[in-house]
Amino acid sequence: MASCSDLHLYFCSDFILLLFYRIQYFVIDEEVLLGYKQKGIEGLLDVSKRPHNTKYKKITPEVEETILDLRLTKRFGCNRIKFRLKRIIGISLSTRTIYKILKRHCLNILKCQTKVRRYKRFAMKHPNDMVQLDILGPFYLSNSSQRNYIISCLDDCSRKVSSKWSERKRSVDVLNVLEDWIMISGKPKMMMHDNGKQFTSIQNIQTFPGTQPDKE
Please state the three-class secondary structure of 2-57 as a single string: CCHHHHHHHCCCCHHHHHHHHCCCCCCCHHHHHHHHHHHHHHHCCCCCCCCCCCCC
- The model carries a pTM of 0.42
CATH class of 130-215: alpha beta
What pLDDT is recorded for position 155? Answer: 92
User: Does the pLDDT at position 187 exceed 50?
Assistant: yes
State mean pLDDT over 97-101.
91
pLDDT at 214: 52
Give the residue with greater pLDDT, 120 vs 4.
120
Mean pLDDT, residues 13-29 taken together: 53
For the chain, the average pLDDT equals 78
- Please give the pLDDT value at position 11: 45
- Whole-number Cα distances in Å, 199 to 154, 157, 159: 15, 21, 20
Min mean pLDDT across 44-58, 74-88, 151-165, 201-215 is at 201-215
Distance of CA 182 to the CA centre of its chain: 51
